[in-house]
Amino acid sequence: MRSADLPVSTSEHRERLRRRRDALSSRFVTQASRRICQRIARLPLLLSGQRFALYRAIGNEVDLSILEARLSSRGLTCLLPVLRPNGFSTGLFFQRYRPGDRLCRNRYGIIEPCFDPARCVAPRFLSVVFLPLLGFGAEGGRLGMGGGFYDRALGFRFGSSATRPVLVGVAYDCQYVGGLQQNPWDVPLDAVVTESGVVVWASWLAYWFDG
């Protein structure tokens, strides 16, 4: 994996990684996304869970629609992240989703399931959360878009013996960043899957990623 040079500030760092991802061709994104979904589908990790949080790709993010269709066809529960609309407490939630469910546009213009609190599942009851990212580093470091939504939703993992949900970053090789600096509130990934392989940082996960 090719390391990026760290810019002076985190905002510059994000912008550099965003430009790098935006420069990827649609053909590359399609082919790499397919390979990544195939890698994930072969992981024994999927045999141990029932509820899987995915996401809808924006721009050149890795597209997990193939994986979503495969999990749904096996009768497993797929969830998508949703932001509570105005009038509710702010935060990121995970809502059960089936093809054909009504979709809405959130306050950032992102398409997501129309918020229904009865269909939301608390993060601690999920098996695996697949997270999009701008960059990832050694030891599970993740650089997101800067909103901190995932970190707040998954912050209960800090200071806890909880090993669920498993947090799996989804990225292209070119998003690796050597020496990525993390803030105290950044929730680390347990593993990351790219088009060329799987990297596991949580030793207790080694068995479930063997394959």
Q: To 10 degrees, what angle do helices 65-73 and 26-41 make?
A: 30
Cis previous bond, 165, omega within 30: yes
- Give the closest residue to 178 by CA, choosing from 2, 3, 1: 3
CATH number at residue 21: 3.40.50.10420
The single-letter code of the amino acid at 116 is: D
Containing structural domain, residue 38: 10-209
pLDDT, one tens digit per residue, over 2-22 is 444 444 467 777 888 999 999
pLDDT of 138-173, one tens digit each?
888 899 887 889 999 998 887 677 678 999 999 999
Assess contact for 157 and 187: CB atoms under 8 A.
yes
2 inside domain: no
Residue 3 lies in a domain: no
pTM: 0.89
In a domain, 5, yes or no: no
